[in-house]
Structure 1
């Protein structure tokens, strides 16, 4: 293999640039040419492809987002779109592709692998919702962003003696809410994997008020409900006023943490090694701090799981 491509797809995540850097420099170290594909699979179809060198990835390890940009591409879900992408790779002599993104991006990688173009996936998503890896690139940075925001909201909650609902991202995974809620001592953590009954949340709020507690924090994963909807339910059920903060895309930005930079560097280099070893249709991940790889097709069929022991701990500590 003499030429490989790399692209980022789906939602951006802090640390993607560090992964791109690792792919490019590891490949060049092994005398392989690297081509950056801009705007994800859409860019692959359109031939938005440029050769990269060491200078292409200089001074990017600390930057959030992705220098290759990202876009969602419905056309690539079709055979016609996939074939257009293959033609562009043939045109540039690209023999293997590294895809940095989430489960939607990996489905595209599987299709290309099935059609004879080996792909390796690198999990990059703040949601941490990919099976087969303990952590995804971007999760730790997003987590710290959420924690910092909750710290600031708690100052206001304390000053005005109010209850705040903090809505965080995560799609159908509760990792961001659970980790942030536990780290910030939230009174209630609401996640899709273990839904609390509304009356349980209300009872915790009332118990706190009875013992003189003047403010509370509820961390709500977006996969459970909309923050404003949930606030209205609390109002209707218990006549308790709450304030809502939706952190939104703030969680995706920012300079990646040391943890995300190291993880991205390790996974990026591992992805290149997997291609050089003749592997295809694999996802590079980390488990128990050891690099692992799994078949993407198998990973896509598995459901991401959350550590419910952490959830139970949060209950015990928020009495």
Structure 2
């Protein structure tokens, strides 16, 4: 009987618990495997902090947001001799291999651990939907639903006061949430990191909407830049990976629109609300399917690979195809939406 460890690393995400549940149920039922959960991401892997996982532990968790295992942005190489420490801990706990659930940073770390001799596989997760190797990641659908509802609500108050409303959503390098939520809500302008837009163009769209007697709705991704900006707006310092903490471009944009057009403009930063709450049915199903596919991948000896969604199929791809590669919004897809801005 084999014994495996599951960890969730990086930002939390709706659907993580569905994956955990799927792995444990299928692995115990079909293969007779045992599982432990590493607590707080790679930190638990390094220090050997675990909880037992069985059918009773995972009962009913697929509908819950967040992760029952906890998460962190602690990297496995932060401590000296990280791989050797992990191998020693795995032997002590009787863990034969690791299942890492996370985004780009988690997959990059998993790839490095695999190269250092640790049997590990990956399950992709990010609300930003920006992993190149998979068509969709669980959590994205939920985030879009939340952002769309927020945009719908803002439009009602915007219409009441004849204001321009600016909604800022997540998206550091890729504008998938902004594009999908903006299209779903009928936004009059959608601003994404992949395509800088000038203030003059944005104001022209806003003015056109106002001239028709409507209240403008602008959806902007946190990573959006004006053409003269070298990097995305940030005033919150650096995160655990040394990257600028983004957020606030909407609050910069709103007063600029008001100053240039004279139209009363308000900004709302949606922030972590996009990550929280119960996952959508789509994300529960996708998470569960990915979880069901894990035990088969392990028992086929597929270490060093990551599961992915291609069309409607769950497939296997090497870490090298996923790590460090961002899936951006295609320009033609953005241009399709841009034609009807304003």
Specify if TM > 0.5. yes
Q: How many residues were matched structurally?
A: 318
CA distance in structure 1 between the aligned counterparts of 2:192 and 2:55, rounded to whole angstroms: 43
Aligned to 1:59: 60
User: Retained in 2: the 8 A contact 1:95–1:117?
Assistant: no
Offset from partner CA, 1:11-66 (integer Å, 9 cap, x none): 00000000000111111121111111110011112211122111110010110100
Give 5+ residue unaligned stretches, structure 2.
225-232, 234-248
Equivalent residues in 2 for 1:73-222, closer than 5 Å: 73-74=74-75, 76-77=77-78, 80-213=81-214, 215-222=215-222
Q: What SS class does the counterpart of residue 186 from structure 2 fall into?
A: coil
Structure 1 CA distance for aligned equivalents of residues 254 and 300 of structure 2: 53
2:318 maps to which residue? 295
Partner SS, residue 317 of structure 1: coil
Output the CA distance in 1 between the equivalents of 2:25 and 2:37.
12
83-92 or 61-70, which deviates more: 83-92
- Which residue among 236, 260, 279 is the counterpart of 1:256? 279
After TM superposition, give the deviation of residue 74 of structure 1 in Å. Answer: 4.1
Residues 108, 324 of structure 2: 8 Å contact kept: no
Secondary structure of the residue aligned to 1:61 is: helix
Relative distance call for 1:296 and 1:249 in structure 2 (3 A) is same
**Any stretches of 5+ residues in structure 1 without a counterpart?**
none
Task: Flag the structure with higher helix content.
Answer: 1
- Change over 3 Å in CA distance of 1:77–1:104 after alignment to 2: farther
Let me know the Cα RMSD of the aligned residues.
1.6
How many Å separate the matches in 1 of 2:28 and 2:286?
A: 20
Shift of 1:236: 4.2
Residue in structure 2 matched with residue 20 of structure 1 by the alignment: 20
Q: For residue 223 of structure 1, give the secondary structure of its aligned residue in structure 2.
A: coil
Q: Distance in 1 between matches of 2:311 and 2:331?
A: 18
Partners of 1:34 and 1:162 in 2: how far apart?
A: 54
Partner of 1:313: 336
CA offset at residue 77 of structure 1? 4.2
The alpha-carbon distance between structure 1 residues 120 and 132, as it changes in their structure 2 partners (threshold 3 A), is same
Report the TM-score, using the length of structure 2 for normalisation.
0.89
> After the TM superposition, which of the residue ranges 132-141 and 263-272 deviates more from structure 2?
263-272
